[in-house]
Amino acid sequence: MKAAVYYENGGPEVLRYEDVPDPACPPDGVVVDVEVISVEGGDTLHRARTPLPAKPHIVGYQCAGTVREVGARVKDRRVGEKVVALVASGSHAERVAASAGTTWGVPDGADLLSIACVPVAFGTAHEALFALARVQSGERVLVHAGGGGVGLAAIQLAKAAGAEVLTTASTDEKLARLREYGASHGINYKTSSLVESVTKAIGPNAVHVVIDSVGGKTLQESVELLAYQGRIVNLGLAGRDMTPFQPLPMWRRNATLIGMSLMTSLQHEHARTYGVIAECIRRVASGELRVIVDRKFPLAEAAAAHAYIEGRGAFGRVVMLPRG
C-alpha cells in the first residue's frame, strides 16, 4: 500500500510518499480501507517532535473508510461496514489497523467526509467543556483558535449548552465567519491585545472557562481574564511556544488549570468517552452540529497538507484522500 512516511522529525518536507507493507489485523481490531484522512493538529506536532518508534513511521490519528478485515475476537464490526477510526498512529495511509474499541459506525446516509473529522475535534472539545471544565448555561467561554477543528467544535457545543462564547482567530474574516457558528465576540490575536479586547467586550475578570489549544504566551495571558474560580483547559501547543507557565496569577482567583488528552480519557473512561464521541457523530450526521472542510489534498501531497495547516490559513478541517 501507499503511505506518507518519514524517517526523522522535522518540518512537512520530511514526509515522503512510499510503498509500505499492509498492516496486520489485530485479534481485537479491524483493518480499514481508508477513504478520508482528517489531518489533526496533533499529527503535525507528532511529526515535528515525537520520537519515532520505528523507521519509516506513518503518522496520523484519524480516518474513515470501509472495514476490510475483522479480528477473531471482534463481534460488533463486519466486513464492508463504514467506520471512522481513531488510532495512535498510522492514518496517513491507504489502509490502517485499529482497535475495534476506537472505531465508530458511520450512520446510514451520513457524509463520510464530515464524519471522518468528528472524533478528535468534537470528542476533545466536548471532554474539555463538560467533563473537565463543567461549563454551565450562562457562563462565558473563551475558545482560542476558533477557526481550527477543535475551536469550531467547542464554539458550537458551548453555544448549544447556553454559554456566551468568545473566540480568537488570526483574521477579521475568520472572526466574522465564526459568528455564524455561535461566537458572540471575536478577538484578532494578530492585531489586538487579548486582555484589552476581552475586557472591553465583557468586562474585567469575567471569563469562566478558557479552552486553549495554543499554549505559551496565550495560555499565560488567559489567566488575567478569569473570573473567581475560573477554569482553563489546555489541550495543545499549536503556537509551538514552550514558554514555562507561571502559576502565581492563578492564586488571586482560586483558578484551575487542567491538562487534557482525548486518548487519556478513552484509556481511563472508555465507555463514557466512547459514548460521548458516538453522540457527537449522531449530532453531526443529523445536521445539529457542523463540520467545515476547508481543503482536500491527495495523500501523495501530505507534505503540502501539513504545511497548509501550519501556515494558519485553514478555516475548519483539512483532509486527505488516499485515492483522490
User: Would you give the end-to-end CA distance of the chain in angstroms?
Assistant: 15
- Mean pLDDT value of segment 156-164: 98
In 3-state terms, what secondary structure has residue 159?
helix
**Given this model, what pLDDT does residue 323 score?**
87
* Domains in the chain with CATH codes: 2-117+291-321 (3.90.180.10), 121-263 (3.40.50.720)
**Given this model, what pLDDT does residue 4 score?**
98
pTM of the full predicted structure? Answer: 0.95
Q: For the segment 109-131, what is each residue's pLDDT rounded down to a tens digit?
A: 999 999 999 999 999 999 999 99
For residue 201, the tally of other CB atoms under 10 A from its CB is: 15
**Given this model, what pLDDT does residue 243 score?**
86
- Mean pLDDT value of segment 157-176: 97
- Mean pLDDT value of segment 140-146: 97
CB crowding 22-34: b at 16 or more within 10 Å, else e: ebebbeebbbbbb
- Mean pLDDT value of segment 73-90: 97
- Mean pLDDT value of segment 246-259: 97
Q: Provide the residue type at 94 as one letter.
A: E
Q: For the segment 16-34, what is each residue's pLDDT rounded down to a tens digit?
A: 999 999 999 999 999 999 9
**Given this model, what pLDDT does residue 39 score?**
98
**Given this model, what pLDDT does residue 312 score?**
84
In 3-state terms, what secondary structure has residue 76?
coil
**Given this model, what pLDDT does residue 40 score?**
95
Select from 64, 49, 164 the least CA-distant residue to 106.
64
**Given this model, what pLDDT does residue 237 score?**
83
User: What's the grid cell of residue 188?
Assistant: 484578532
- Mean pLDDT value of segment 196-212: 97
Residue 154 exposed, middle or buried by CB count within 10 Å (0-12, 13-18, 19+): buried
**Given this model, what pLDDT does residue 240 score?**
76
**Given this model, what pLDDT does residue 294 score?**
97
Tell me: pLDDT of 324 over 80. Answer: no
**Given this model, what pLDDT does residue 8 score?**
98
- Mean pLDDT value of segment 206-233: 97
Tell me: pLDDT of 239 over 80. Answer: no
**Given this model, what pLDDT does residue 315 score?**
95
- Mean pLDDT value of segment 170-187: 97
**In the predicted model, what is the mean pLDDT of the chain?**
96
Tell me: pLDDT of 85 over 80. Answer: yes
- Mean pLDDT value of segment 223-246: 91
Q: For the segment 255-311, what is each residue's pLDDT rounded down to a tens digit?
A: 999 999 999 999 999 999 999 999 999 999 999 999 999 999 999 999 999 999 999
